[in-house]
Amino acid sequence: MQSASDRIKWFRLAINYSQPEMADLLGIDFIRYKNIEQRKARVSELEFEPLCRQFKGLVHFFTYGGELDLEALRVSDEPLERLLVAAIESNKKLEALPEGVLKI
């Protein structure tokens, strides 16, 4: 099973964000974010909070690797959640997604 760091990195790559852009999105220092992605630091509650507040449809996925409900994400008010669906459907980043997390 992937770690929260792996899932956050997968999400960043799927929506085509750079590490600095993702750090800004989370409101954390770039070096801290880079260390999270490289598994040199764990994702803290302080980092989960803005991530889960903005991406409500991805809370279970980020926190414990729960299913991604593509139908719910497709109609989300959050543009980046809809972008994630488009990336998955175009199969660009799907190969890195662990089995069993897609609810289609």
Looking at the domain assignment, is residue 30 inside a domain? Answer: yes
We report the CATH number of the domain holding residue 60 as 1.10.260
pTM above 0.75, yes or no: yes
Neighbours of 77 (CB within 10 A): 8
pLDDT category at 101 given cuts 50, 70, 90 is low
φ, ψ dihedrals at 20, nearest 5°? -60, -35
Looking at the domain assignment, is residue 75 inside a domain? Answer: yes
| pLDDT at residue 104 is higher than 50 | no
Looking at the domain assignment, is residue 104 inside a domain? Answer: no
Measured between alpha carbons, how far is 13 from 15 in angstroms, rounded to an integer? 5
User: Which pLDDT tens digit goes with each residue over 26-72?
Assistant: 899 999 999 999 999 999 988 889 889 999 999 999 998 888 888 99
Looking at the domain assignment, is residue 82 inside a domain? Answer: yes
| pLDDT at residue 96 is higher than 70 | no
- For 13, the domain range is 4-95
Looking at the domain assignment, is residue 101 inside a domain? Answer: no
Measured between alpha carbons, how far is 42 from 87 in angstroms, rounded to an integer? 26
Looking at the domain assignment, is residue 42 inside a domain? Answer: yes
Looking at the domain assignment, is residue 48 inside a domain? Answer: yes
User: Per the structure, how many domains does the chain have?
Assistant: 1
Residue 94: predicted pLDDT: 53
Looking at the domain assignment, is residue 103 inside a domain? Answer: no
